[in-house]
Structure 1
Amino acid sequence: MPSRRQLLATGLALLPVPALAQAWRPTRPIRLIVPFAPGGSNDIVGRIVGEAAGQILGQPVVIENRAGAGSVIGAEAAARAAPDGQTLLINSSLPTVPAIVARVPYNTLEDFTGIAVAGFSPYVLVVNPQVPARTAQELVALMRASPQNYHIAATGNGSGVHVAAELFRSIARVQSDVVHYRGGGPSVAALVSGEVKVGLPTMASSIGQVRGGALRALAVLADARTPVLPDVPTTAEAGLSGVVLEEYFPIVAPAQTPAPVVAALGEAFRTAVQQTASRLAELAGVTPRAGYDTPAQVMALVRASITQQTAILRAAGVQPE
């Protein structure tokens, strides 16, 4: 006669995947590493989605900001964490780092497994309001005439904002230097103060300043206008065809995390994204997108983006360092 343990194992094996996912629940707060300083897009999106996911999972999701090296420090900490579902990473720079960093201390595609994608958002070409440019073409003319007066703010070597800056420099044919800050929050603060005049920040980290008039948006790096900033033209409309780049927010776990744990986390975070869709759009200019329901789909997106980001940087003449 089968033992109670055997019967239980058989019963679990017959459960559908969603029910099996419910078999795991965290026993303590979940650490969600944000590899940038507070106030940037990953921090904002992580806090919005993490709060809702924590309510679903029955344990709070605690944000841990570990900035440095263009997200490498925080990402490495996540890759080396115990694969028990208690440590996750949200990092929009996950696909850009392999394109710009010569010796990455982890393997992006082998050391992580996908949990969810928290949404997509275009980058934005902005200037400090003191800049006498009302259009992207006027800005390009100023930067070509005086590149030393119009440095571009970025958020670390290998970050998505860095890729956006290099794409803009390449297509606009401007020679202005890129100045790196420790995250989206500090870079936007530098733009607002006038320490730097030009930036291509994420929408999440800059939308409040744009709406409040502290920054002037000249274009969104997208094929279509965003309903979040409907009066701002696309880069094609602004005369910068080809300057198109979108940020997205992959949430990943260490690679050896057990499948039932990954399934439970994925279900919780995907539900949290749907529940917070209106807040994400309003506060961060981020919208969810279907098609990323499995770990393989999430990591396939990252893989394709590595190829895209590498091509952009090489075309701009940027080599790994």
Structure 2
Amino acid sequence: MQRKLMLALALSAATAFSAAAQAAEGWPIDKPITIVVPFAPGGANDLIARLYAKEIGQDLKANVIVENRPGAGGIVGAAYVARSRPDGYVFLAASNGTVTNSLIRSDQPYKDDQIEPVAMLGIVPSIIVTNPSNPANNLKEVVENAKKSGRSINFSTAGMGSTPDFVGAMVKIETGMKMQMIPYKSGAENVAAVVGGQTDMTSEASMVTLPLIKAGKLKALATTWDHLDAAPDIKTTAELGFPNIRIGHWEGLYARTGTPAAIMDKMNAAVRKASQSPAILDALKPYSVTPGTMTRPVFVKFTQDERTRLSKVVKAAKMQPD
């Protein structure tokens, strides 16, 4: 009896493996693949997703569409993907917030285990910026001036749980400045608020900020990443005496849980191949972006480690929903 049971289990596993392999072999069929960006157009997530969509489409011989579904710091778009069919035709271009949103709010409309990591797209350095009219030339001077004046600093973000939101929280924790977080729907919008003088500071990806810094519309105060080769004159937060203010804008693809592993592995391979293409490398190098070359297991561990690390920031800053 036991031998028959073991044989039946083995046959069942083999059948399941064969079905998954067949699903990946036939994927994608003549049907578009949608990459959902949970932010408005113009931010780093949107820009990188569109770069990869073209290269992935060419490799998989499929039509890859980027669809923006902004709102609630990325939760609206993530919830949409969490409710999608697990067939490999809908992916989420997720940011840091995807691993931390549930730490901040209890009413997240989907469970974390309804989506799972597929591939890293890239890590973009973040730059803390202010309006050129600000007399401070770096973050250290901003802190000194704010403490002398006693005024509260308005720090715009791309929404609750976004990378700028975490940068603002880290700045508040490490400097003790009085700060008010002002949420917007995208990186483009929170940066525009600083350019227009509606807010004092923000932090956004180098892909968004560097062109505006070079055009004289923004002033760089520091980069929160380990290096910024494209603009070596901009000091790191560590160099300015704030080593604990450290975070990059990472972006990765997620899929609805239940999507065949073979399909996710195939997408991961397509992303890694795209990350080494001249088109991607040439587009990312001017902004010091590290392209995604992680295998799926490595990316899974990366997201787990980020959740553990950033959970400490959530608690220390008492981060709350917008």
What range is the shorter-chain TM-score in?
Answer: 0.7 to 0.9
1:215-265 deviations in whole A, cap 9, x for unaligned?
Answer: 111211123x32122111111212223211122111111111112221222
- Structure 1 residue 311 corresponds to structure 2 residue 315: no
1:105 aligns with 2:125: no
The residue aligned with 1:168 is: 171
Partner of 2:242: 240
Q: Return the alpha-carbon distance in structure 2 between the equivalents of residues 136 and 259 of structure 1.
A: 45
Corresponding residue of 2:274 = 272
Matched, 1:298 2:299: yes
Q: Which runs of 4+ in 1 moved over 6 A?
A: none
1:143 aligned onto 2:169? no
Q: How many residues are treated as equivalent by the alignment?
A: 304
Query: Who is 1:281 aligned against?
Result: 285
Cα distance, 1:161 vs structure 2:
1.3
Equivalent position SS for 2:99: coil
Structure 1 residue runs without a partner (length 5+): 1-8
Q: Distance in 2 between matches of 1:301 and 1:71?
A: 19
Map 1:56-95 to 2 at 5 A: 56-92=59-95, 93-95=97-99
Q: Distance in 2 between matches of 1:279 and 1:235?
A: 25
- What is the distance in 1 between the residues matched to 2:200 and 2:56? 38
- Of residues 141-150 and 187-196 in structure 1, the stretch that sits farther from structure 2 once superposed is 141-150
SS at match of 1:156: coil
Q: CA deviation at 1:21?
A: 4.9
Kept in 1, the 8 Å contact 2:23–2:263? The answer is no
Q: Once the two structures are superposed, what CA deviation does each residue of 1:284-316 show, in whole Å capped at 9, x if it has no partner?
A: 5421254x212x332222121111111012112
Give the C-alpha shift of residue 70 in structure 1.
0.7
- Residue number in structure 2 paired with 1:213: 216
- How much does 1:147 deviate? 5.7
- Correspondence for 1:263: 265
- 2:8 is matched with which residue? none
Residue 133 of structure 1, CA deviation: 0.7
TM-score, length-normalised on structure 1? 0.87
Residue identity (%): 30
Counterparts of 1:154 and 1:148, CA distance in 2: 19
The separation in 1 between residues aligned to 2:183 and 2:147, in whole angstroms, is 21
Alignment-mate amino acid for residue 289 of structure 2? V
The equivalent of 1:116 in structure 2 is 119
- Matching residue of 1:40: 43
Alignment check: 8 A CA contact 1:26 1:57 kept: no
On the 8 A contact 1:147/1:177 being kept in 2, the answer is no
TM-score, with normalisation over the residues of structure 2? 0.87
2:6 is matched with none
Task: Find the residue that maps to 2:249 and give its secondary structure.
Answer: strand
Please say if residues 26 and 85 of structure 1, whose CA atoms lie closer than 8 Å, have aligned partners that are also in contact: no
Q: Which amino acid aligns with 1:68?
A: G
After superposition, the CA RMSD in angstroms is: 2.3
Question: What's the offset of the Cα at 1:266?
Answer: 1.6
Deviation readout 1:114-165 (Å, 9 max, x if unpaired): 2210111232111110111112221112222446463111111111210111
How far, CA to CA, are the matches of 1:250 and 1:142 in structure 2?
38
Aligned residue number for residue 3 of structure 2? none
Q: Is the 8 A contact 1:48 1:280 kept in 2?
A: no
Structure 1 residues 70-127: Cα deviation after superposition (integer angstroms, max 9, x where no partner): 110000001111111111001112122122122222222x212322101112321111
Aligned to 1:3: none
Partner-residue secondary structure (3-state), 2:98: coil
What CA distance in whole angstroms lies between the structure 1 residues aligned with 2:219 and 2:272?
Answer: 33
- How many angstroms apart in 2 are the aligned matches of 1:246 and 1:258? 30
Looking at structure 1, the residues matched to 147 and 105 of structure 2 have their Cα atoms a distance apart, in angstroms, of 29
Q: CA deviation at 1:33?
A: 0.5
Structure 2: tracts of 5 or more residues without a match: 1-13
